[in-house]
């Protein structure tokens, strides 16, 4: 296991760090590379994380863990509170950050890797829709996408673009089912189609890039252990050490925005 612990921007004395060359060599020697991205990727776009020292929950306190059952019990009440801004302060701060967020160099580098055929898919825990905005094609959003609505009965998804509704949407046009934001709430099961698609990508992967994920939130974190047990090489790109670090062939202590463009450059050379 190589652990490049120094915080850096990918270069030392004008030379590309050995860690980048090592990752490039592993990626180019792999036949199916899957990216798994977490909150760190969003933080680089100015979106505050939930957990950790600067996390929203640290600042405002933990949210209620039964959001989904509250919503299902009384969806009108849920939407009324939203319409009248009677929602948690952390949700308002998050909503404002999401409205202003733009993809960063790391998001665009993932698109570049995908276009080169060096990256087959990305499974993200983020709900910010920035991967989609950057132009990534093969994307699984395990916790949903804040710019979509989803029917909880038939799973039909509708894209909203930049329009964020403040009022309860009409029932599903296909099945008359209850429609909510695609974003997965506390206590809400992850859609079966999303779990099956994620598992299928992980089963095909011989290399997984774990980017900005602390690998603590299930079920996404479990996928990394499954991949490693099945023999995939795990590469970590994260400014801090995580529970995942001991599983990784290479751990690079840096941000996605620094490392991924250099990886793309190294593979294009
Ligand atoms: Zn439906």
Query: Per the structure block, which two tokens stand in for 1?
Result: 């296991």
Residues 87, 92, 94: CA angle, nearest 5 degrees: 130
Same domain, 68 and 130: no
The CATH number of the domain where 41 resides is what? 3.40.50.1220
Among residues 4, 90, 104, 143, the one annotated as catalytic is 143
CB 33 within 8 A of CB 232: no
pTM: 0.90
Only one residue has tokens 């950057």, namely 134
Please tell me the distance from the alpha carbon of residue 113 to that of residue 210, in angstroms, as a whole number. 15
CB 212 within 8 A of CB 37: yes
> How far does residue 150's CA lie from ligand 1's centre (Å)?
8
> How far does residue 179's CA lie from ligand 1's centre (Å)?
8
What's the number of CA atoms in the CB half-sphere (13 Å) around residue 61? 3
Same domain, 63 and 112: no
Listed in order, strand segments (DSSP E) in 81-204 are: 121-124, 139-141, 148-151, 157-159, 179-181
> How far does residue 203's CA lie from ligand 1's centre (Å)?
30
> By residue range, what is the domain housing residue 92?
56-99
Query: Per the structure block, which two tokens stand in for 24?
Result: 């490039």
> How far does residue 14's CA lie from ligand 1's centre (Å)?
55
Q: Is 90 a catalytic residue?
A: no
- In tens digits, the chain (269 residues) has pLDDT values of 565 544 455 555 555 667 899 999 999 999 999 999 999 999 999 998 888 877 887 877 777 788 899 899 999 888 888 777 777 777 788 888 888 899 999 999 999 999 999 999 999 999 999 999 999 999 999 999 989 999 999 999 999 876 777 788 999 999 999 999 999 998 999 988 999 999 999 999 999 999 999 877 777 778 999 999 999 999 999 999 999 999 999 999 999 999 999 999 999 98
Same domain, 11 and 67: no
CB 210 within 8 A of CB 244: yes
Same domain, 95 and 205: no
> How far does residue 92's CA lie from ligand 1's centre (Å)?
28
């Amino acid at each position: 296991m190589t652990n490049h612990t120094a915080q850096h921007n990918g270069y030392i004395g004008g030379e590309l760090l050995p860690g980048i060359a090592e990752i490039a060599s592993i990626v180019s020697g792999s036949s199916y590379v899957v990216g798994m991205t977490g909150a760190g990727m969003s933080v680089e776009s100015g979106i505050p994380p939930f957990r950790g020292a600067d996390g929203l929950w640290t600042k405002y306190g933990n949210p209620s863990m039964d959001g989904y059952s509250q919503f299902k019990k009384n969806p009108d009440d849920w939407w009324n509170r939203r319409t009248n801004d009677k929602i948690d302060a952390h949700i308002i701060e998050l909503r404002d950050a999401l409205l202003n967020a733009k993809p960063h160099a790391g998001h665009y580098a993932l698109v570049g890797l995908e276009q080169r055929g060096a990256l087959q898919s990305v499974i993200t825990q983020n709900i910010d829709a920035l991967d989609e905005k950057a132009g990534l094609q093969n994307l699984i959003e395990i916790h949903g996408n804040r710019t979509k609505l989803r029917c909880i009965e038939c799973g039909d998804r509708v894209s909203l673009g930049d329009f964020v509704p403040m009022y309860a949407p009409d029932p599903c046009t296909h099945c008359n089912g209850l429609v909510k934001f695609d974003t997965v709430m506390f206590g809400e099961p992850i859609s079966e189609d999303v779990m099956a698609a994620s598992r299928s990508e992980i089963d095909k992967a011989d290399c997984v890039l774990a980017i900005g994920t602390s690998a603590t939130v299930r079920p996404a974190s479990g996928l990394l252990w499954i991949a490693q047990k099945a023999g995939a090489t795990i590469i970590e790109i994260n400014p801090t050490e995580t529970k995942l670090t001991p599983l990784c062939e290479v751990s690079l202590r840096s941000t996605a925005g620094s490392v991924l463009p250099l990886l793309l450059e190294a593979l294009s050379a």
